């Protein structure tokens, strides 16, 4: 998880609009007509001259008071909409004379539009009263003074529209990451004044794909570094945040390897951090986890509340949540629902620059374009009755590789076809099924030398690993690589990638990492339009760009609720989804698939024996020989969503 570090960014620079190409009947129309915004900024003096700040407590239905900061326009000639952000990360700075530096972020655009900006510390965090509960379950049948985050949102909105002067009785809610979860809860509140909600990189399912687990694999690096600070008890309201763990080394790979097992991390964590103990106590997808999955309640969103889900194609934390919450709203909800996915790391769309991620460049300032031509017009239309968003499609998706925005009236696109590409002998990929009677590729997975998720030595988990060069992994003997011949035409993927592996292992459990990679030509170089603020001299010739990677804990191959062991030597199917892809492999490039059994220290190590891994000790870890079969009878495939 990343706190609200994206809300204080440096000033935006003007950039030409994204060059958008036509696509079939869904021709892309330059969305400048939606807003007419210019980049005249509101500096700190302008904001303080035109706004006032108030701090209040709003009483919830059970008597608990939530601390709330309100920034109100002084203009009383018209009524203003309310934009609410509920956060566990603090609505600091505290004190009515201390102002958040909105002038350095895209929030200033909302102030230019005269919004009432409301920030609220959620129940039990920072200056609010009450008990904090992580991803507090939604209660669809609340009675009397029973509460959840949806009811807290309802009560906050109710107070605001009834008590703030010059408001127009129209409220919007948005937030990134954990505040994205609270935005989803807002959508479930059904307050009649709530007209628009935008969950952005929303925490959605912390077992299947967001933040702390991916397909049952514990993402120790994020969970430990985050909860060692965030999870500390807060017995009474405070303006001072907790300190995190004092790491003995800045080499994350070495620290987690030396720790030996999750039991040691639990020992480091101590006894006071409740949610860590909850994580360790629920190693399968049980009722406790299901209650914390808001997708199960998507049918509760009011038809009068428009939703727009936003996420990053390369979000290392909540990419799953954005794609899958949208899917749940589409399947179960009845509201006006939109999806926006750009080429961003976690929260980059709220930053000042979306030109690149790591070494990969996108040719334009995608963040600035999104802010001014998608997000602000969305809220203006629903909260102010201003503008026309009829040209905003159901899905506005940036396609990396070709570096263009496309619009669709559904996602995945109707023109998408799922096509299996087969793993073949000698590291090949083919659209034709193999004819060999018996063929496999194998490697030895050694937990004492796990495959790193990036070649860098670093302390914090990087944001750029989602597009990192994979040549370092291609050189390891415990990573299998399969690739196509040089592509003679462009190939565009638009939807969910499915790994469908036929495997046999020498032990009773193993993990499987599948990576979809774009191999650049040996003469590749970026042109002048791809200049960024921090151009580097990284060698891009032959670059192996990670387009999408995902990990699967083998024992959950049949069910996340009921794990089962492998029978050593028996060929079994391991099938799992990778989060959606929107990428064009251009002519002259190659498609590569890599398969390995560790992604360290991103995910915890599998002892490669069937057990509760949260109870593993160093002596439980063992080597495993992994075979990936690719013959006529046992044909391993990667199912690709090819856009026709």
For 427, other C-beta atoms within 10 Å of its C-beta total 14
CA distances (Å), origin 279, targets 212, 222, 275, 393: 9, 13, 6, 39
Domains in the chain: ranges and CATH: 31-205+292-408 (3.40.50.1820), 416-643 (2.60.120.260)
For 159, other C-beta atoms within 10 Å of its C-beta total 17
Q: Give the span between the Cα atoms of 133 and 316, in whole angstroms.
A: 24
Q: Give the span between the Cα atoms of 278 and 480, in whole angstroms.
A: 36
Q: What does pLDDT average to in each consecutive run of 10 residues of the chain (644 residues)? A: 38 31 34 37 87 98 98 97 98 97 94 97 98 98 97 98 98 98 98 98 97 98 97 96 96 98 97 96 97 96 96 98 97 92 98 95 96 97 95 96 97 98 97 96 98 96 97 98 98 98 98 98 91 80 98 98 98 98 98 98 98 97 98 98 96
Helix axes 274-281, 220-230, angle to 10 degrees: 150
Q: Give the H/E segment covering residue 289.
A: helix 287-290
For 327, other C-beta atoms within 10 Å of its C-beta total 18
Tokens matching residue 84 = 């609410």
Q: Is the dihedral of CA 65, 71, 77, 79 positive or negative?
A: negative
Q: Give the span between the Cα atoms of 594 and 397, in whole angstroms.
A: 26
pLDDT at 20: 33
Tokens matching residue 641 = 């969503």
> Three-state SS across 317-330?
CCHHHHHHHHHHHH
Helix (H, G, I), strand (E, B) or coil at 76: coil
DSSP notation for 325-378: HHHHHHHH--S-EEEEEES-STTGGGSS--SEETTEE-SS-HHHHHIIIIIHHH
CA distances (Å), origin 529, targets 116, 403, 582, 637: 38, 11, 21, 37
Cα torsion for 173, 108, 310, 208, to the nearest 10°? Answer: -70
List the beta bridge partners of residue 551: 513
Q: Give the span between the Cα atoms of 65 and 123, in whole angstroms.
A: 8
Q: Give the span between the Cα atoms of 274 and 187, in whole angstroms.
A: 28
602, 453 Cβ separation under 8 angstroms = yes
Q: Give the span between the Cα atoms of 442 and 46, in whole angstroms.
A: 64
Helix (H, G, I), strand (E, B) or coil at 625: strand
294, 138 Cβ separation under 8 angstroms = yes
pLDDT at 476: 98
542, 570 Cβ separation under 8 angstroms = no
List the beta bridge partners of residue 552: 512
For 627, other C-beta atoms within 10 Å of its C-beta total 18
Q: Give the span between the Cα atoms of 417 and 216, in whole angstroms.
A: 28
| Closest to 318 in 3D by CA, of 232, 211, 406, 408 | 211
Those residues whose C-beta lies under 8 Å from the C-beta of residue 49, and which sit 6 or more positions away, are none
Q: Give the span between the Cα atoms of 48 and 54, in whole angstroms.
A: 13
DSSP notation for 524-548: ----GGG--TT------TT-EEEEE
CA distances (Å), origin 339, targets 60, 120, 309, 326, 397: 32, 26, 5, 7, 8
CA distances (Å), origin 323, targets 41, 315, 316, 578, 615: 32, 11, 13, 11, 32
For 18, other C-beta atoms within 10 Å of its C-beta total 24
Those residues whose C-beta lies under 8 Å from the C-beta of residue 390, and which sit 6 or more positions away, are none
State the pairing for strand pair 416-424/637-643. antiparallel
- Alpha-carbon Rg for the chain in angstroms: 25
pLDDT at 41: 53
Those residues whose C-beta lies under 8 Å from the C-beta of residue 23, and which sit 6 or more positions away, are 406, 407
Helix axes 220-230, 252-259, angle to 10 degrees: 90
48, 99 Cβ separation under 8 angstroms = yes
Q: Give the span between the Cα atoms of 47 and 642, in whole angstroms.
A: 48
pLDDT at 536: 75
HSE, CB side, 13 Å, CA atoms: give it for residue 217: 30
What's this model's pTM, rounded to 2 decimal places?
Answer: 0.92
Q: Residue 426 — left, alpha, or beta (φ > 0 → left; ψ -120 to 50 → alpha)?
A: left
Q: Give the span between the Cα atoms of 202 and 197, in whole angstroms.
A: 12
Tokens matching residue 500 = 């469908």
């Amino acid at each position: 998880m990343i706190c609200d570090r994206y809300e204080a960014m440096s000033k935006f620079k003007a950039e030409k609009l994204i060059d958008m190409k036509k696509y079939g009947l869904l021709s892309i129309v330059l969305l400048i007509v939606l807003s007419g915004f210019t980049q005249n900024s509101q500096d700190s003096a302008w904001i303080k001259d035109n706004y006032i700040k108030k701090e209040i407590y709003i009483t919830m239905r059970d008597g608990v008071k939530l601390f709330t900061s309100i920034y109100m326009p002084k203009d009383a000639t018209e009524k203003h909409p309310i934009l609410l952000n509920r956060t566990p990360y603090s609505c600091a700075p505290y004190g009515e004379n201390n102002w958040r530096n909105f002038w350095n972020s895209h929030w200033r655009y909302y102030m230019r539009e005269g919004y009432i900006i409301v920030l609220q510390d959620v129940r039990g965090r920072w200056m609010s009263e009450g008990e904090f509960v992580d991803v507090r379950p939604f209660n669809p049948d609340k009675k009397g003074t029973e509460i959840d985050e949806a009811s807290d949102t309802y009560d906050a909105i109710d107070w605001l529209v009834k008590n703030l002067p010059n408001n127009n009785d129209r409220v919007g809610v948005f937030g990134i990451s954990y505040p994205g979860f609270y935005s989803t809860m807002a959508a479930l509140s059904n307050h009649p004044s709530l007209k628009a909600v935008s969950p952005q990189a929303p925490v959605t399912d912390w077992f299947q794909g967001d933040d702390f687990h991916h397909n049952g694999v514990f993402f120790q690096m994020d969970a430990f570094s985050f909860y060692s600070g965030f999870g500390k008890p807060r017995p009474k309201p405070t303006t001072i945040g907790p300190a995190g763990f004092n790491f003995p080394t800045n080499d994350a790979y070495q620290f987690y390897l030396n720790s030996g097992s999750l039991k040691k991390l639990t020992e480091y964590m101590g006894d006071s951090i409740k949610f860590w103990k909850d994580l360790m106590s629920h190693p399968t997808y049980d009722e406790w986890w299901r209650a914390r999955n808001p997708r199960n309640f998507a049918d509760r969103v009011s038809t009068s509340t428009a939703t727009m889900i936003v996420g990053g194609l390369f979000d290392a934390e909540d990419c799953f949540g954005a794609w899958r919450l949208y899917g749940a709203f589409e399947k179960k909800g009845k509201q006006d629902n939109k999806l926006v996915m750009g080429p961003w790391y976690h929260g980059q769309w709220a930053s000042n620059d979306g030109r690149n991620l790591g070494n990969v460049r996108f040719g334009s300032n995608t963040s600035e374009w999104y802010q001014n031509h998608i997000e602000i017009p969305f809220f203006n239309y629903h909260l102010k009755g201003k503008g026309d968003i009829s040209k905003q499609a159901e899905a506005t998706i940036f396609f990396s590789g070709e570096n263009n925005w496309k619009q669709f009236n559904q996602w995945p696109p109707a023109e998408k076809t799922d096509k299996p590409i087969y793993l073949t002998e000698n590291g090949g990929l083919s659209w034709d099924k193999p004819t060999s009677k018996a063929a496999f590729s194998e490697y030895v997975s050694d937990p004492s030398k796990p495959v790193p998720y990036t070649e860098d030595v670093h302390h914090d988990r990087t944001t750029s690993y989602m597009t990192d060069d994979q040549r370092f992994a291609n050189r390891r003997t415990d990573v299998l690589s399969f690739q196509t011949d040089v592509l003679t035409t462009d190939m565009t993927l638009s939807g969910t990638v499915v790994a469908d592996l036929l495997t046999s292992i020498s032990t009773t459990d193993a993990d499987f990492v599948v990576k979809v990679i774009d191999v650049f030509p040996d003469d590749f170089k970026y042109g002048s339009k791809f200049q960024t603020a921090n151009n580097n001299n990284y060698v891009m010739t032959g670059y192996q760009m990670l387009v999408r990677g995902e990990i699967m804990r083998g024992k959950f191959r049949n069910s996340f609720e009921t794990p089962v062991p492998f029978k050593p030597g028996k060929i079994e199917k391991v099938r799992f989804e990778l989060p959606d892809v929107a990428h064009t492999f251009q002519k002259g490039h190659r498609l590569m698939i890599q398969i390995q059994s560790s992604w360290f220290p991103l995910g915890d190590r599998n002892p490669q024996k069937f057990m509760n891994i949260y109870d593993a000790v160093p002596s439980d870890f063992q080597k495993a020989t992994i075979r990936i079969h690719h013959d006529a009878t046992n044909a391993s495939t990667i199912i690709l969503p090819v856009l026709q």
